[in-house]
Structures are given as C-alpha cells and as structure tokens.
C-alpha cells in the first residue's frame, strides 16, 4: 500500500527564500543573500504561494510587505527553519569530527579484559567522545537498539558484520576448584564428564550451550548436566571458584583465578580453540567519526581489521 509522506514532497522548497524576503522586505536584497537572481527568488515565492494556497507578500514598485497569511506563515516557519538549520549543523558537526556518545554492547566477562586497558587512553585522545558501555550477554540488534558497535566472541558474530580483532585466538578450557576436585579422580577423557557436576551456559537464544571439545583431531559437542545454569561466563567462573562444579570458559577469563590457585584446569589436551574477541559494527559506509576514531585507536594498540 502506498504511503504518504508526513510533509508533502517539496513542501520546504522556497521557505528560505520567503524568510530572506520577509527579513529584508526586498526581493533584490534577499537574492544577494542567497547568491541567486531576483527573478529566481520571485519564482520561488510564487511557487511557494501556489503550494500554500494564499498570497504571502504584498508587492508594490516601492515596497514589499507581508499579508496576514504571510505573517502567520512567518510566525511558524521562522523558528521551525532555525531548528532545521541547527539540526543540520549538529549532524554535520558529528559527521565531521570525533564527538558525541559512543554506545557499546559488551558481555560482562569479556569486556573488562580486552576493553578496560583502552578506555583511559581513548578518553585522553578524544575528550569530546563519551563512551557508554552497556553490559549485556545477549546478542543485541545494534541498529534497532541504538548501539554503535558490540563486542563478542568471534563465533557469535553474524557474517555480515565488520569485525575488528581485540584479542588473539584462545582456548576454551574446563576448570574446577581444588575443593571440588579434592577426593575425586579428575576426568581424563570427555566421556568422564558424565559423572561430573558441570556448570552450563544458556545462550541468548534460550538454548543450552554444549561443551565443545577436540578428540582425535575433530571437534565434538558434549551435552553435560549439573547444578547450575547461567547466562554469562562471569557467573559460571564464580561458581566454579566456589566449588559448585566444573565450568568451560575462555582461558583469558579464568587466567587470574588459575594463577592464584583458585582453579585447576582439567581435560587440557581436549580444549578447543576459539577465534578470539572482536569489536563488530554494521557498515563502514555508515560509520561516524566517533566510531572510526575508536576503531583506529584499537588498531593502533594491536587490533587487526
């Protein structure tokens, strides 16, 4: 079904010419301001009057005045046109230099590891850009929800996105606390997981994520069971440290706990590689300077397009 525009096609044509003539009470001076001929201004006004359906100016050989319809049109058109000019200037400013609010959707467990070291230097280099980090494990629709970019594990990013690497590939490891493993025989093959309390991740789609492992040179998926299901790696990691069970998490997420002896890795020979963490966004053609500056900042500190 054909839709009508809220503002009729061409409805703004001639408005600037009208405002200049109303300001100067002169077609000639309005033409000088606009850099066109007086006849071009006269034609624009005649077209506008025809479209409006009423004469806007009273013209004599000596002077130009506003009709009652012209006064009414001026009272509404002048502030509205000023708002349009201001809106254009603001948009042009945002399109001309890094400025404004940069909104990023970031998962709770991955963001701090790869993003936090960059924030201070970016804020120092681009003081007119405000960075808002929305912590969310869910894969959001960037355009629909008003985000400039997101950060996710590479395997979860749609193929039509532009991706900038934030981390090298890493292992997805299985970890448990010394307390949980005390008195147990640690699993030595994937089949041993059937007897373990495994902490599971629920994806944003609602599906439970299987554990991926590499056995005999091929990737296998193991459906595990256990006492806890969570929607983010940070919760699974905390539960594993607390002795609730085993968790499969990105190795960088568990690195500090492993170094502190709070966790122990099991089934290390079977750990698969994940592509790494990436910043992603919809299109280079739609990129404002604030996002381009952020991407360039990432690349200058080790990221790759």
- pLDDT average, residue stretch 204-217: 89
pLDDT at 137: 72
- The encoded tokens of residue 297 equal 């900042």
- Rounded Cα gap, residues 31 and 39, in angstroms: 8
- pLDDT average, residue stretch 76-81: 88
Mean pLDDT of all residues belonging to the chain: 86
Q: Which of 71, 109, 106 is nearest to 119 (CA)?
A: 106
| CATH number of this structure's domain 100-168+276-300, picked from the four choices 3.40.190.10, 3.30.70.380, 2.120.10.30, 3.90.180.10 | 3.40.190.10
Which residues are CB-neighbours of 166 under 8 A, at least 6 positions away? 114, 115, 151, 276, 277, 278, 279, 298, 303
Q: What is the DSSP string of 52-111?
A: HTS--EEE-SS-EEE-HHHHHHHHHHHHHHHHHHHHHHHHHHHHHSS-EEEEEEE-TTTH
pLDDT at 82: 82
Higher pLDDT: 210 or 111? It is: 210
First to last CA, the chain: 42
CA 204 to chain centre: 18
- 17-18-24-26 Cα dihedral, nearest 10 degrees: 80
Specify burial of residue 61 (Cβ count, 10 A radius: 0-12, 13-18, 19+).
Answer: exposed
pLDDT at 19: 92
pLDDT at 205: 75
pLDDT at 288: 86
**What does DSSP say about strands 198-201 and 229-230: parallel, antiparallel, or unpaired?**
parallel
Q: Does 304 have pLDDT greater than 50? A: no
Task: Give ranges for CATH 3.40.190.290 in the chain.
Answer: 170-273
- pLDDT average, residue stretch 42-56: 90
Q: Does 6 have pLDDT greater than 80? A: no
Task: Give ranges for CATH 3.40.190.10 in the chain.
Answer: 100-168+276-300
Structural class in CATH, domain 170-273: alpha beta
Q: Does 8 have pLDDT greater than 70? A: no
Task: Give ranges for CATH 1.10.10.10 in the chain.
Answer: 15-96
CATH code of the region 15-96: 1.10.10.10
At which residue do the structure tokens 């934030």 appear?
166
Q: Does 199 have pLDDT greater than 50? A: yes
Strongest mean pLDDT among 98-112, 230-244, 275-289? 230-244
At which residue do the structure tokens 């966004």 appear?
281
Q: What Rg, from alpha-carbon coordinates, does the chain have?
A: 31
Strongest mean pLDDT among 77-86, 140-149, 204-213, 250-259? 250-259
Q: Which of 155, 154, 157 is nearest to 140 (CA)?
A: 157
Strand partners, 175: 247, 265
Report whether 155 contacts 250 (CB < 8 A). no
CA 302 to chain centre: 21
pLDDT classification of 173: cutoffs 50, 70, 90: very high
- Rounded Cα gap, residues 125 and 21, in angstroms: 46
pLDDT at 135: 84
Strand partners, 172: 250
pLDDT classification of 1: cutoffs 50, 70, 90: very low
pLDDT one-digit tens code per residue, 177-196: 999 999 899 999 999 999 99
- pLDDT average, residue stretch 157-172: 88
Type and span of the H or E element at 113? helix 111-114
Tell me which DSSP letter residue 208 carries: B
pLDDT at 182: 95
């Amino acid at each position: 079904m054909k839709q009508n525009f809220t503002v009729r096609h061409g409805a703004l044509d001639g408005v600037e010419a009208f405002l200049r003539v109303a300001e100067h009470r002169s077609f000639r001076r309005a033409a000088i301001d606009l850099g066109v001929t007086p006849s071009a201004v006269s034609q624009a006004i005649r077209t506008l009057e025809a479209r409006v359906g009423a004469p806007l100016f009273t013209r004599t050989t000596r002077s130009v005045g506003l009709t009652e319809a012209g006064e009414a049109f001026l009272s509404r058109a002048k502030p509205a046109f000023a708002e349009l000019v201001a809106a254009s200037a603001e948009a042009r400013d945002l399109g001309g230099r890094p400025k404004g609010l940069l909104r990023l959707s970031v998962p709770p467990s991955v963001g701090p590891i790869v993003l936090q070291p960059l924030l201070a230097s970016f804020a120092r280099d681009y003081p007119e850009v405000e960075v808002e980090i929305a912590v969310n494990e869910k894969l959001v629709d960037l355009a629909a929800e008003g985000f400039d970019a997101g950060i996710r594990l590479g395997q979860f990013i749609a193929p039509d996105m532009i991706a900038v690497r934030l981390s090298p590939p890493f292992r997805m490891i299985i970890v448990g606390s010394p307390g949980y493993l005390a008195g147990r025989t640690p699993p030595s093959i994937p089949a041993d997981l059937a007897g373990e309390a495994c902490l599971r991740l629920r994806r944003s789609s609602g599906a439970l994520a299987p554990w991926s492992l590499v056995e005999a040179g091929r990737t296998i998926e193991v459906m595990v069971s256990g006492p806890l299901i969570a929607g983010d790696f940070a919760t699974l990691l905390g539960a594993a440290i607390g002795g609730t069970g085993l968790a499969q998490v990105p190795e960088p997420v568990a690195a500090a706990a492993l170094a502190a002896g709070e966790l122990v890795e099991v089934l290390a020979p079977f750990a698969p590689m994940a592509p790494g963490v990436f910043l992603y966004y919809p299109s280079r053609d739609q990129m404002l300077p604030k996002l381009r500056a952020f991407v360039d900042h990432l690349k200058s500190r080790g990221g790759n397009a």
